[in-house]
Amino acid sequence: EPEVTQTPSHQVTQMGQEVILRCVPISNHLYFYWYRQILGQKVEFLVSFYNNEISEKSEIFDDQFSVERPDGSNFTLKIRSTKLEDSAMYFCASRPGTFTYPDTQYFGPGTRLTVL
């Protein structure tokens, strides 16, 4: 069964550095999402992406964050200048976008980002 994949599984970076988290959604899915979960807290929505543009973003998703689908298969989340509070598990998700409402979101295994 196809799965969403994410790389790396764990990323350690210094405060102020840029990081790029990578995701390969399930092929033929049309909607893509990033969520994050700070340790001990709930899973929070960051951004949704459809038709090569952001369709919705949360307050967390400020100018330090950006998303891109550079080549039709990868879906990336970039954090330009990491802060300590960006340390979290980042989940990518994709969904088919069929006419069945709402079709299911499938999650990747997550990338644990540690900012030192």
Chain residues that interact with another protein, rule: CB under 8 A: 3-4, 31, 33, 35, 41-45, 48, 50, 55-56, 58, 91, 93, 95, 101-102, 104-110
CB of 38 to another protein, least distance (A): 12
Three-state DSSP at 36 gives: strand
Phi/psi of residue 99, nearest 5 degrees: -80, -5
Distance CA 103, CA 112 (A): 27
CB of 33 to another protein, least distance (A): 7
In the complex with another protein, the residue whose CB is nearer, 4 or 88, is 4
